[in-house]
Amino acid sequence: MGRIMGIDYGSKKTGIAVTDPLKIIAQPLATVPTEKLYQYLVDYQKTETLEGFVVGMPSRLNGEDTHATQPVKQFIEALKEAFPTIPVFTIDERFSSSEAFNSLIASGAKKEKRANKELLDSMAASLILQTHLQSIQ
């Protein structure tokens, strides 16, 4: 049984989350420098089977593209080329970072933990992935 990976792509850092083997729960996995993302995915694939990628697609509240939309689209094309047998899905990520921050507050995380951008990125990836899981159940 494989996992599904959620990706919150960023120009400098990318948050990553994965499902459990039963594909019920999404959990934060890591935040990696974007320039090392491809190698991270290759290495991960050596130890775990991936059945899909879910990438957060940035857009404005009115649905228009943001400055980050085109780089994400380019990343998705490169991802499809690098892993042609693994399907790639997209999810609207408009509120993933703010929801991740609010989740940290709700969990009682101290201010220094809430300021950890890497933790926020991986949590945002987890929320993106959990949204996908809810849409397919």
pTM of the model: 0.82
**What phi and psi values does residue 56 have, to the nearest 5 degrees?**
-70, 130
Q: What is the pLDDT of residues 47-72, one digit of tens each?
A: 999 999 999 998 777 777 777 889 99
Q: What gap in Å lies between CA 88 and CA 108, rounded to an integer?
A: 34
pLDDT tens over the chain, length 137 residues:
799 999 999 999 999 999 999 999 999 999 999 999 999 999 999 999 999 999 999 877 777 777 788 999 999 999 999 999 999 999 987 655 555 555 555 555 555 644 546 667 888 899 899 989 988 76
* Nearest by Cα to 126 from 100, 106, 101: 100
Range of the domain at 33: 3-136
When divided into structural domains, the chain yields a total of 1
**CATH code, domain carrying 72:** 3.30.420.140
